[in-house]
Amino acid sequence: MSHLLTPSPSMGEGWDGGDARSREQSPLYGPFENGPPLHKVVNAIKRAAEVGNSPLVVSVDGRSGAGKTTFASLVANATCATVVPVDDFYAVAIPDAAWNRMTPKERWANVFCWQSLRSDAIEPMLSGKPGRWYSLDFAAGPRNDGTYGKETNPTVLPSAPIIILDGVYSAGPQLADLVNLAILVEAPEQQRRARLVRREEATFLAQWHARWDAVEDFYFSQIRPRNSFDLIVST
């Protein structure tokens, strides 16, 4: 996977929901000279962790199929970070009928159990303790009403000096007081859709696009526009 890195304007210029820590630290993440983008991202994160908050919370956000998880894994391997998959906290108890009645804004607001993400994962890790939660059981598939179960065994991940939140909407205002650095991972739409086709079943994917494409459009235009991120990585 190749990466193209673009430094973005500071949080304060494009988004008024960011917390003061991110805005104050934004000069640490740019400008960047020509060179391997992953190396620059890693250096920026390490530098921020050394001089700023510890643990440092990094959001890796972006549309579905953009390459977030792959990029988060590469960064984590280079920084010894712990990666928290935000999809683990999907709102499993909401049935299809309820999702279908919601506007894109309402779906975005309710897609994850934000309080569990904070109290079971991020906040313990910020205190140096392991995070412990019960993840969405995606492999078991949805029930007849569209709800999901949770895995019977908990996910337990250690704290680390760098904590990466991997997932769309992870740089949103629900976590703004905890996130220090927001990275947008992006790819051309045709490439993103091709990746999704390769990894998802056709019927599920068609239903997914019908429900969530408009939510991503809303989020990346109204909540987290491109120029509100600290760094932009193209895959």
- Spans of all domains in the chain: 4-234
Q: What is the pLDDT of residue 26?
A: 36
Instruction: Give the integer Cα–Cα distance in Å for 170 and 71.
Output: 15
Q: pLDDT band for 94, please (50, 70, 90 cuts).
A: very high
Element (H, E) at 196: helix 189-199
- The DSSP code for 90 is B
- The whole-angstrom separation of Cα 48 and Cα 52 is 5
**Structure token digits, residue 65:** 């199929």
DSSP 3-state of 163: strand
DSSP state of 35: S
pLDDT of 21-79, one tens digit each?
333 333 333 333 333 478 888 988 888 888 877 899 999 999 999 999 999 999 999 99
Give the burial string for 186-206 (b: 16+ CB within 10 Å, else e).
Answer: bbeeeebeebeeeeeeeeeee
> For the segment 124-155, what is each residue's pLDDT rounded down to a tens digit?
999 999 999 999 999 999 999 999 999 999 99
Ordered DSSP codes for 138-160: -TT---TTS---B-SSPEEE---
Helix (H) or strand (E) run with residue 106 in it: helix 104-110
Taking 60 as the threshold, does the pLDDT of residue 156 lie above it?
Answer: yes
What pLDDT is recorded for position 115? Answer: 98
Cα 156 to Cα 18, 39, 85, 100, 160: the distances in Å are: 29, 29, 12, 33, 13
The pTM of this model reads: 0.84
Helical (H) or strand (E) element with 131: strand 131-133
CA dihedral 193, 222, 235, 167 (to 10 degrees): -80
DSSP 36-64: -HHHHHHHHHHHHHHHS-SSEEEEEE--T
- Assigned CATH class of 4-234: alpha beta
Token pair recorded at residue 172: 């949103």
